[in-house]
Amino acid sequence: MAQGYGDNKQPVRFTIAVNNFGDRPASFVDCTAFNGLAEKVVLPHVKKGAQVFIQARVETRMVEDRGENRQRVGFVVESLRLGSNGSGGGGGSTGGSAPDEEPPPF
């Protein structure tokens, strides 16, 4: 579920599950959205179980965990497209141009 502050100057943070192929478990990736994408798309439409397709850039940052510095990797979302399943709604695209064909699986 997305967490934000209802102010388009604040980031909205959410986690996506990336489907892996074969018998490997899903990977969970932290995502951050800003501005209108955060306020008008992520907060009202992205819910647990919603299928989303994102275009993002990778961001790394250092965090302290139990007294040790660790590197965290996440996505800064530049555009987001809602999929057809889950509670996310029906296939609209937002935050940038989306191709007419299905995006490749991540």
pLDDT digits (tens, 9 = 90+) for 13-54: 999 998 888 888 988 999 999 988 988 889 888 888 889 999
State phi, psi for 40 to the nearest 5 degrees: -95, -15
- And the tokens for 73? 């990797």
**Which CATH number is 12-94's, of 2.30.30.790, 3.50.50.60, 2.30.40.10, 2.40.50.140?**
2.40.50.140
Beta strands in the chain (DSSP E): 12-18, 27-33, 52-65, 68-82, 93-94
Q: Which residues contact 25 (CB under 8 A, 6 or more apart)?
A: none
What are 47-103's pLDDT values in tens digits? Answer: 888 899 999 999 998 989 899 999 989 999 999 998 886 444 444 444 443 334 444
| Per-domain residue ranges of the chain | 12-94
Residue-level length of the chain: 106
